Structure 1
Amino acid sequence: MNAQELRAKSADELRQELTNLKKASFNLRFQQATGQLENTAGIKAARREAARVKTILNQKAAEAASEE
């Protein structure tokens, strides 16, 4: 998902997306630890996607704070 699609979502939707990404990241790490993970690039992709969501959440929070 790119940044434009994420910016179109509400803060609640972004928090839900972040929760899902953290769960996916945990599952990928667990698979790696048990030797079941085949595509190790998925860990990096999940971390980057979570960081992208956090960045947009912070931007929305800063924007809301500056409006008040």
Structure 2
Amino acid sequence: MNANELRDKTPDQLREELVNLKKEGFNLRFQQATGQLENTSGIKAARRNAARVKTILNQKAAAAASEE
């Protein structure tokens, strides 16, 4: 996931993407706890992607607030 791709999305699309990433992170943590997770780097990637989406959302909110 690229930050430039995220900047093209609307805030609603970004919130939906964030929900999906949080669900993915939960599922990966659950798999790790039960011993079914094979690729442990997926947890780190999901967490970073969620942080990336949150950053873009905050930037869009700050830009909207400064325009008013």
Place the TM-score, normalised by the shorter chain, in its bin: over 0.9
Output the CA distance in 2 between the equivalents of 1:3 and 1:43.
19
Q: Is 2:68 aligned against 1:63?
A: no
Output the CA distance in 2 between the equivalents of 1:38 and 1:18.
24
Output the CA distance in 2 between the equivalents of 1:51 and 1:64.
20
1:48 corresponds to: 48
Output the CA distance in 2 between the equivalents of 1:45 and 1:4.
17
**How many residues are paired up?**
68
Aligned alpha-carbon RMSD (Å): 0.2
Kindly provide the amino acid, as one letter, of the partner of residue 11 in structure 2: A
Residue 40 of structure 1: how far off its partner (Å): 0.3
Unpaired segments ≥5 residues, structure 2: none
Segments of 4+ in structure 1 off by > 6 A?
Answer: none
Kindly provide the amino acid, as one letter, of the partner of residue 12 in structure 1: D
Q: Deviations over 1:17-55 (max 9, x none)?
A: 000000000000000000000000000000000000000
Q: Counterparts of 1:21-32 in structure 2 under 5 Å?
A: 21-32=21-32
Unpaired segments ≥5 residues, structure 1: none
Residue 60 of structure 1: how far off its partner (Å): 0.1
1:35 corresponds to: 35
